[in-house]
Amino acid sequence: MRNPLPRVAAIHDLSGFGRCSLTVVIPILSTMGLEVCPLPTAVLSAHTGISGFKIFDLTSQLPDFIKHWADLGLKFDGIYSGFLGSAEQADMVSSFIDRFGGPDCLAVVDPVMADFGRLYASMPPEMIGEMRKLAQKAQVITPNITEAAFMLDRPVPSSLNEAEVKEWLKALADLGPAMPVITSLPLASRPDKSVVAAYNREDGRFWLAGRPQVPTQYHGTGDIFSSVLTGSLLQGDSLPVALDRSCQFVATAIRTTFGYSGLSHHEILLERALPTLFTPPESGGYDLMA
Ligand code: PXL
């Protein structure tokens, strides 16, 4: 029997404080009408951007959890991975996609490991090669520009033109995924915008979407973006509409939070924005790259 609601395996950490990973993945995908089955990769007191964080890595537990799901005969319409607790987990996610994926299942890998030119505090350097390998199994990957550079073994660029963006996307598609997306793109022609770009190898088209920059940064916006993108694709949206909805939602969450004084950049007010996921997609915010 088909799942009455599209069912997604969400392979991310659970961080108690600092909105990111499962604490954004679950509310976003649930609001979008999907059933989320979380497979936690690690449990943290707070995300790794908050000093003093404590982490409990679940690498040794994952094989048993996965075996139980296999014994239960679970079927997934989507598999969506993010922050991993160790480099060894990349192989586990790869086998998970082999075991539970297939032509009717969307596999999204967000190669969460770095930002602003640096690996996150808990990330071993081997994670870069492991994420590169794992990307082979995904249809969609959503690196930010630092993660894209690390995966392609290139310097992190301070600015790219459109021809260069297309070349980067093709190079990412050559790693395996048919639909690579790059976020936090330093696009020379749109310095005032927060921009994402994507390529669809199936039709050879490149897409840009974005929203005006707000002069602040909130932690977890990459996870928020990838979660809405995953939900939107699983709802049947096209790639550019899914990009546009994700940018729109991130911009709404940021603008909703930015107006308050006294909130740290770990405290994006996700719940204020969730109801906007019920509104029909606007499609005015994307462009085809000529
Ligand atoms: O937002 C990415 C992310 C997810 N999970 C954990 C993190 C980070 C980024 O720092 O530390 C635990």
Asked if residue 85 lies in contact with residue 57, where contact means CB atoms within 8 angstroms, the answer is: yes
Atom of ligand 1 nearest to the CA of 120: 10
Residue with the smallest CA separation from ligand 1 atom 12 is 47
The Cα-based distances of 232 to 88, 93, 205, 227, 249 in angstroms read 30, 22, 19, 8, 11
Q: Write down the domain spans for the chain.
A: 7-289
* φ and ψ of 208, to 5 deg: -125, 140
Mutate to test the pocket of ligand 1, among 47, 217, 227 (most ligand atoms within 8 A of CB): 47
* Cβ–ligand 1 contact at 144 (below 6 Å): no
Measured from the Cα of 44, ligand 1's closest atom is 12
Neighbour-count burial of 1, counting CB atoms closer than 10 A to its CB (0-12 exposed, 13-18 middle, 19+ buried): exposed
CATH of domain 7-289: 3.40.1190.20
Q: What is the pTM of this model?
A: 0.97
Query: Are the beta carbons of 174 and 135 closer than 8 angstroms?
Result: no
225 Cβ inside 6 Å of ligand 1? no
Q: What is the mean pLDDT of each run of 10 residues along the chain (290 residues)?
A: 89 97 98 98 97 97 98 97 98 98 96 97 96 98 98 97 98 98 95 94 97 91 98 96 96 94 92 93 83
Which of 63, 13, 28 lies closest to 235, judged by CA? 28
CA of 220 to the centre of ligand 1 (A): 7
Residue 239 and residue 289 in contact, taking contact as beta carbons nearer than 8 Å: no
| Residue in 206, 218, 229 with CA at minimum distance from that of residue 106 | 229
Residue pair 44/14 in contact (Cβ under 8 Å)? The answer is yes
